[in-house]
Structure 1
Amino acid sequence: MYKRMQFGQKRERFEGDPNQTSLPFEAAPAEVVEQQEEIKQKIEYTRSRPNHKGRAKLPQHLPVVEIEIHPEGDLSEMVCIGKEITEELECEPARFYINRYIRYKYASKKQDEIKIGELPERVIEKGIPGAGLLAMILTNKYVDHLPLYRQKQIFARENIQIASSTIEGWTKEALIKLQPLYEQLVFDTKTKGYLQADETPIKVLDSDKKGAAHQGYYWVYHAPLDGTVLFDYSPTRGSSAPMSILGTFKGYLQTDGYAVYEKYGKKKEITHLACWAHARREFEKALDNDRPRAERALLMIQELYKVERRVKEEQLSADRIKELRLEGSLPVINEMGKWIFEEIKNTLPKSQIGKAMAYAYARWDALSAYLYDGNLQIDNNLVENAIRPVALGRKNYLFAGSHDAAQRAAMIYSFFANCKKHEVNPFQWLKYALENIMSINHKNLKDLYPQTFKNNIQKSNM
């Protein structure tokens, strides 16, 4: 810029003080030599550094490319006495290629019958993307939180020019194909006997207010006994939103203190469980307000979590977990309940310690209900963990384009959350699901669940 100002055309030129020293655009020769010597020393030092003793082992399942290196010079008078092997982990960018289906036609000699090879089921009829490409796009967006416009840039670097609207259309069509599997997941979730529930906001462009985004919500349900997760979108946070799932639900329902859940928790068919993690957070907020009493409450809650830590470490059965909780947790809960009952009488309701006590006091039965069965959890953390990918996604693509798009996103979030729960590679599962969902018998639809896919892969490898 400065060169153009001084030496460019007259309309771009800026004449400074002729007596002023010119800027050093180029280093002096002596400085260049000194810099090169310094770089050479750094390179030699880096080469001579020993490998770190604790370097990670290379995965055994990866293909190996062998590169043979022989000494330079004449080797005709020498004999090979051995070899040294050095391995490194390497990669190359995603490889794009074209599947060209060539279907041959055959005709009978009498010309009264013609046969042609059958084209495999395709995810998008007459579309150009294969199942693997669609799986990569969806995995990049909803697992790795890579917006579609950035993926378009990746295509462009490989000299593959695809319009943004085309990629968006592919994404929509692929998600629509998964709709039957999602409906099966919704049906199965309603039949669970123990659900954890939570909700998280999502911005949606489809708004009645001009220039403003609508505040929608993902309602998330987690079944701890079999580790399944369901995301459901609703434009509202009102009591009607969870009706589609909780309207006919029977069993244990574990939630935070949101009033909508309290309404469902009062139904005869439901045993409402509260969350000790939320109760603990209220007392943590009160440390600056009333440290002695807040610390006492936190120490008692800590005793409850010591029991849970032992349960996890020893991997106890449900019956043994219930016994251990009745021995170690029930006395603590009884002591804490009596203490709160006495202390809340002498506490300002609007103080933070007063709010913490009131939160626990109002939900005491629900906080104690996890003692009923060893299969129940002490808190709602498992469903909160399932929500985290949505929070990461919000930072990258900020909003959904419409209410329908938000529901389609809820669908793929559900399946990818189940992949994470059951340690399934999300790309491999989605590619398999897209390849088979068009032809699978509706009675066998559950075979496309991530956890079932994992079990089938394990059986085939045995």
Structure 2
Amino acid sequence: MQTALENLSKKDLLAMVSDRDRALAERDEKIDYLESQLAMYRRMQFGQKRERFEGDPNQTSLPFDAEPAAAEQQGEEIKEKIEYVRKRPNHKGRAKLPGHLPVEEIEIHPEGDLSDMVCIGKEITEELECEPAKFYIKRYIRYKYAAKSCDGVKIGELPERVIDKGIPGAGLLAMILTDKYVDHLPLYRQKQRLARENIRIPSSTIEGWTKEALIKLHPLYEQLVFDTKAKGYLQVDETPIRVLDSDKKGAAHQGYYWVYHAPLDGTVLFDYSPTRGSSAPLPVLGSFRGYLQTDGYAVYGKYARSKNVVHLACWAHARREFERALDNDRPRAEKALLMIQRLYAVERRAREEKLAAEQIKELRLTESLPVINELGRWIFEEIKSTLPKSQIGKAMAYAYARWDGLSAYLYDGNLQIDNNLCENALRPCCLGRKNYLFAGSHEAAQRAAMIYSFFAICKKHEVNPFQWLKYTLENIMTINHKNLKNLYPQNYKKIVQQSNM
């Protein structure tokens, strides 16, 4: 009696074997994918970047009082340490104190009768000291004059003020904005600091001051938007921001800051949009012409396909994909990372030698192009036999799909190998939102984008943000619109340098 298996034809047997092999391949692919995910989660849990605090369940409760003997011993040890610190010799290699600071001299003479002694010299010891912010009242006294003929009265003209009929001066407003958007100090903490100086100001008042000061910067911001659209090379990135203005009761809206960085002149533009969709960068990128450098987010592809745009991809993002694959396929991930490392070594050499753009282009064509060609050929061959859902497969697919963009930085020595400069401009915003958590409305988020733009430019050009903002608030209402660009942080720096010459 023949079995059912014997009754099957050769074609049916081959089909069964093929189905089995396909099922095994799918199972192996799924196992590799799950193993790569598990490795990634283990790195998040136990790796170097772990920031979570996990208490020890076996830890006993802390005692409220120490034993008398232990307390006495601790007291003796503290006394010895105080004596050591007090008698510790001065450090021989301390940094020189800044020469621009004012000096308060305190003369100390020996105690006792010095009438029979002669001064033969002096020793000077310096220390850096500080005082808390000084608050004071600026009082304008405007005198009135009447003509003897009784045909008119004159009065001294009041200077233009940031907030008409308001209490705060430009310096106080600059301090509040700098503390919030540069040093990430929320307004309620600033209110507490003012209260310690016995200055009681309601939260709503401080919030109103902040809003009015930011509104004054709007013309300068509009000029920055206009100038950014005309740049020939932009790097773009985006980051989320929670906004209380939401259609859902009790929920916050997820908005986005879009940042546009012009590497050639170090200008930065933040723009807020309620969405991350393709319409968000339209106001800036809609008519853009030139080099556009972005990460792999699909929205940028719409603008990159324009005939007037050359799209540059980011090697830092490609490198991160291979770095994530180290736990999935270490040999091949390391091979790719080592070749990418050679590309960055060329960039480091160009910076250290301070090469001009043409020299950088020549150096890249000589040393970077062969590496890119080698890496490209390797990925092209390896991707054929790599599971697409594995992390190493994803890394190869990411680079392979963007290869033209990853190679485009070779066109010009002014172009950057990655988008890191743009990501660096986003960091203050990311730090700030951890403290103040959200924006109160979409309008408030856009006003914050204005000040983030100018403070980012201050950082790029090493300009003191408080001094720049104070100067700008004092002058923006009276400056001729043709000279508005003089209030850009980089131009303010030139004005200050010229005045100090």
Of the three residues 111, 119, 122, the one matched with 2:150 is: 111
Q: Does 1:243 align with 2:274?
A: no
Q: Secondary structure at the match of 2:154?
A: strand
User: Which residue does 1:221 correspond to in 2?
Assistant: 260
**In structure 1, C-alpha distance between the alignment counterparts of 2:349 and 2:136, rounded to whole Å:** 52
Of the three residues 321, 324, 333, the one matched with 1:285 is: 324
Q: What is the Cα deviation at residue 47 of structure 1?
A: 1.4
Deviates more, 1:185-194 or 1:293-302: 293-302
Q: Does 1:358 align with 2:397?
A: yes
Return the TM-score normalized by structure 1. Answer: 0.92
Q: What is the Cα deviation at residue 98 of structure 1?
A: 0.4
Of the three residues 91, 97, 101, the one matched with 2:140 is: 101
Q: Does 1:164 align with 2:203?
A: yes
* Structural mapping, 1:51-130, within 5 Å: 51-130=90-169
Of the three residues 382, 386, 391, the one matched with 2:421 is: 382
Unaligned runs of 5+ in 2: 1-62
**CA 1:350–1:105 in 2, change beyond 3 Å: closer, same or farther?**
same
**In structure 2, C-alpha distance between the alignment counterparts of 1:205 and 1:92, rounded to whole Å:** 38
User: Which residue does 1:194 correspond to in 2?
Assistant: 233
Deviates more, 1:64-73 or 1:412-421: 64-73
Return the TM-score normalized by structure 2. Answer: 0.85
User: Which residue does 1:261 correspond to in 2?
Assistant: 300
* Structural mapping, 1:350-429, within 5 Å: 350-429=389-468
Of the three residues 252, 270, 278, the one matched with 2:291 is: 252
Deviates more, 1:80-89 or 1:418-427: 80-89
Deviates more, 1:136-145 or 1:81-90: 81-90
Q: Deviations over 1:303-327 (max 9, x none)?
A: 1111101110011111111111000
Q: Does 1:310 align with 2:349?
A: yes
User: Which residue does 1:10 correspond to in 2?
Assistant: none
* Structural mapping, 1:268-347, within 5 Å: 268-347=307-386
Q: Secondary structure at the match of 1:216?
A: strand
**In structure 1, C-alpha distance between the alignment counterparts of 2:430 and 2:85, rounded to whole Å:** 40
User: Which residue does 1:455 correspond to in 2?
Assistant: 494
Q: Secondary structure at the match of 1:182?
A: helix
Q: Deviations over 1:111-166 (max 9, x none)?
A: 22322211111000000000000000000000000000000000000000000000
Q: What is the Cα deviation at residue 31 of structure 1?
A: 9.0
**CA 1:113–1:84 in 2, change beyond 3 Å: closer, same or farther?**
same
**In structure 1, C-alpha distance between the alignment counterparts of 2:386 and 2:251, rounded to whole Å:** 43
Unaligned runs of 5+ in 1: 1-22
User: Which residue does 2:89 correspond to in 1?
Assistant: 50
User: Which residue does 1:19 correspond to in 2?
Assistant: none
Deviates more, 1:398-407 or 1:328-337: 328-337
**CA 1:24–1:405 in 2, change beyond 3 Å: closer, same or farther?**
closer
**In structure 2, C-alpha distance between the alignment counterparts of 1:415 and 1:37, rounded to whole Å:** 54
**In structure 2, C-alpha distance between the alignment counterparts of 1:375 and 1:38, rounded to whole Å:** 61
Q: What is the Cα deviation at residue 39 of structure 1?
A: 4.5
Deviates more, 1:104-113 or 1:345-354: 104-113
Q: Deviations over 1:406-433 (max 9, x none)?
A: 0000000000000000000000000000
* Structural mapping, 1:19-30, within 5 Å: none
Q: What is the Cα deviation at residue 365 of structure 1?
A: 0.5
**CA 1:358–1:35 in 2, change beyond 3 Å: closer, same or farther?**
closer
Q: Deviations over 1:71-113 (max 9, x none)?
A: 1122222222211111000001100000001111122222223
Matched residue type, 2:328: N
Q: What is the Cα deviation at residue 263 of structure 1?
A: 1.1
Question: Share of identical aligned residues, percent?
Answer: 82
Matched residue type, 1:128: I
Q: Secondary structure at the match of 1:452?
A: helix
Q: What is the Cα deviation at residue 338 of structure 1?
A: 1.2
**In structure 2, C-alpha distance between the alignment counterparts of 1:43 and 1:372, rounded to whole Å:** 63
**CA 1:27–1:324 in 2, change beyond 3 Å: closer, same or farther?**
closer
Q: What is the Cα deviation at residue 401 of structure 1?
A: 0.4
Q: What is the Cα deviation at residue 32 of structure 1?
A: 8.6
**In structure 2, C-alpha distance between the alignment counterparts of 1:289 and 1:235, rounded to whole Å:** 37
Q: What is the Cα deviation at residue 42 of structure 1?
A: 3.0
Q: What is the Cα deviation at residue 38 of structure 1?
A: 5.0
**In structure 2, C-alpha distance between the alignment counterparts of 1:33 and 1:295, rounded to whole Å:** 57
**In structure 2, C-alpha distance between the alignment counterparts of 1:214 and 1:93, rounded to whole Å:** 38
Matched residue type, 1:454: K
Deviates more, 1:331-340 or 1:110-119: 110-119
Q: Secondary structure at the match of 2:237?
A: strand
Matched residue type, 2:417: I
**CA 1:271–1:37 in 2, change beyond 3 Å: closer, same or farther?**
closer
Matched residue type, 1:378: I
**In structure 2, C-alpha distance between the alignment counterparts of 1:98 and 1:202, rounded to whole Å:** 37
**In structure 2, C-alpha distance between the alignment counterparts of 1:32 and 1:179, rounded to whole Å:** 62
Matched residue type, 1:96: F
Aligned CA-pair RMSD: 1.7
Matched residue type, 1:284: E
**In structure 2, C-alpha distance between the alignment counterparts of 1:31 and 1:307, rounded to whole Å:** 60
Q: Secondary structure at the match of 2:114?
A: coil
**In structure 2, C-alpha distance between the alignment counterparts of 1:452 and 1:75, rounded to whole Å:** 57
Q: What is the Cα deviation at residue 54 of structure 1?
A: 2.1
**CA 1:26–1:212 in 2, change beyond 3 Å: closer, same or farther?**
closer
**In structure 2, C-alpha distance between the alignment counterparts of 1:342 and 1:31, rounded to whole Å:** 70
**In structure 2, C-alpha distance between the alignment counterparts of 1:33 and 1:81, rounded to whole Å:** 48
Deviates more, 1:105-114 or 1:140-149: 105-114
Matched residue type, 1:108: A
